[in-house]
Chains A and B, each alone.
Chain A
Amino acid sequence: MSARNRELLGLVPASLLVTAGFAGVFIQRSNALSNVSLTYGAIFLGLCVAGHVFIRMTLPYADPYMFPLVALLASFGIVMIYRIDSTLARQQAQWFVLGLVLFAITIVAFRDYRKLERYRYLIMLCSLGLLVLPRLPGIGYQANGAYLGIRIPGLFVFQPAEFAKIGLVIFLASYLRDTRQVLVMGARRILGITLPPIKHFGPVVVIWGVAMVILVVLRDIGSSLMFYGGLLAVLYVATSRLSFVVVGLVAFALGAWYLGTHIAHVHARVEDWLHPFNSRLYHAQLGSYQIANGIFAQAAGGMFGQGFGESVLTIPGGGPLLPAPQTDMIYAVITDELGLFGAAAVLITYLLFVARGFKTALLARDSFSTLMTAGLTSVFALQVFVIVGGVTRVIPLTGVTLPFISYGGSSIVANFVLLALMLLVSDRARRPA
Chain B
Amino acid sequence: MLEPVSVGLKFGFLIVLYLFLLWVAWSALRDLRRGRGGVVQADQLRASDATGMYDAAAGLADPQEGFEPRLLVERAGGHEAGIAYDLMNGATLGRGDVEIRLDDPFASSRHARISREGHVVVIEDLGSTNGTYLNEQPLTGPQPLHSGDRIRIGDCEFSYLQ
Contact = CB atoms under 8 A, between A and B. Distances in A.
Nearest to A307: B10
A274 B154 CA distance: 53
A352 interface: yes
Given A363-B38, A366-B78, A433 B9 contact: no
A6 B14 CA distance: 21
B53 interface: no
B45 A72 contact: no
Interface stretch (B55-63, B99-107, B112-120, B121-129): B99-107
A16 interface: yes
Contact of B38 (A14, A61, A69, A352): A61
B104 A181 contact: yes
Nearest to A21: B13
B98 interface: no
Nearest to A348: B21
A355 B28 contact: yes
Interface in A6-40: 6, 10, 13-14, 16-17, 20-21, 23-24, 27-28, 31-33
Contacts, number: 115
Interface of B is mostly: helix
A349 B28 CA distance: 13
A431 B10 CA distance: 40
Q: Chain A: interface residue count, which band?
A: 35 or more
B146 interface: no
Contacts of B103: 177, 366-367
Given A31-B2, A367-B103, A359 B17 contact: no
A152 interface: no
A33 B21 CA distance: 28
A349 B39 contact: no
A17 to B, nearest CB: 6
Interface in B58-112: 77-80, 101, 103-105
Given A13-B19, A177-B103, A28 B6 contact: yes
B142 to A, nearest CB: 27
Contacts of A68: 20, 24
B21 A352 contact: yes
A17 B20 CA distance: 10
B16 A16 contact: yes
B138 interface: no
Given A182-B105, A352-B25, A367 B78 contact: yes
A6 B37 CA distance: 15
A242 to B, nearest CB: 19
Interface in A335-361: 338, 341-342, 345, 348-349, 352, 355-356, 359
Nearest to A310: B6
A359 B28 CA distance: 10
Interface in A355-400: 355-356, 359, 362-363, 365-367, 370
A417 B12 CA distance: 32
B30 to A, nearest CB: 11
Interface in B18-39: 18-21, 23-25, 27-28, 31, 36-39
A24 B3 CA distance: 10
B105 A345 contact: no
A352 B42 contact: no
A308 B9 contact: yes
Contacts of B21: 345, 348-349, 352
Nearest to B43: A433
A345 B104 contact: no
A85 interface: no
Contacts of A28: 6
B9, B19, B155 — most chain A CB neighbours (10 Å): B9
B48 to A, nearest CB: 13
Contacts of A17: 13, 16-17
A20 B38 contact: no
B16 A65 contact: no
A61 B41 CA distance: 14
Contacts of A432: 38, 42, 45
Contact of A366 (B20, B37, B101): B101
B14 A304 contact: yes
B22 to A, nearest CB: 10
Given A69-B24, A181-B155, A182-B105, A24 B2 contact: no
B38 A27 contact: no
Contacts of B12: 20
Contacts of A305: 10
Contacts of B17: 13, 17, 72, 342, 345
A112 interface: no
A33 B16 CA distance: 20
28 contacts: A13-B20, A17-B13, A24-B6, A61-B38, A65-B28, A68-B24, A69-B24, A72-B20, A177-B103, A178-B105, A181-B77, A182-B105, A307-B10, A308-B10, A341-B18, A345-B14, A352-B24, A352-B28, A356-B28, A359-B28, A362-B80, A363-B39, A365-B78, A365-B79, A429-B39, A430-B38, A433-B43, A433-B46
8 tightest A-B CB contacts, nearest first:
A432-B42, A13-B20, A430-B38, A24-B9, A20-B13, A366-B78, A307-B10, A367-B103
Interface of A: 6, 10, 13-14, 16-17, 20-21, 23-24, 27-28, 31-33, 61, 65, 68-69, 72, 177-178, 181-182, 304-305, 307-308, 338, 341-342, 345, 348-349, 352, 355-356, 359, 362-363, 365-367, 370, 429-433
